[in-house]
Amino acid sequence: MSWIEGARPHYFARLEREGPWWSVDFRDCPGCLTSGRGRREALRMAADALATWCANIPPKKLPKPTSPAPGEVLIAARFTRSPGLAWWGGIRFAAPSASYWQDKARGWR
């Protein structure tokens, strides 16, 4: 199963306020951190950052979420897919076509 087919990993995140900015980091996901101007934007960015962090890891190899520490928030990864790409066959169709036309325009083929 791929992430786009419906799996939604979720982990607990710690939010810290630094003036108008909020930083977000995940204990269970090393290197996964982000920030946003305001709490709402930080939470949205956290869902995107978690999706990016999980994208290249097979679902069965992800670390197991630990129990929450005081003050942590549960974040679910937000995987998006363009409705236009779904109509044209998804990424399997659009990405090879785009790279072909870019290569052709630059004279690489």
Write down the domain spans for the chain: 3-78, 83-109
pLDDT confidence of 6, banded at 50, 70, 90? low
In CATH, the number for domain 3-78 is 3.30.160.250
**Could you tell me which of 66, 90, 83 has the C-alpha nearest to residue 11?**
66
pLDDT tops 50 at residue 99: no
pLDDT tops 60 at residue 105: no
pLDDT in tens, 14-49: 999 999 999 999 999 999 999 999 999 999 999 999
Q: Is the pTM of this model over 0.85?
A: no
Average pLDDT of the chain, as a whole number: 76
Q: Are 36 and 47 in contact (CB under 8 A)?
A: no
pLDDT tops 50 at residue 89: no
pLDDT tops 50 at residue 62: yes
Rg (CA), the chain: 18
Q: Tell how far CA 76 is from the center of its chain.
A: 9
Phi, psi of 57 (to 5 degrees): -110, 125
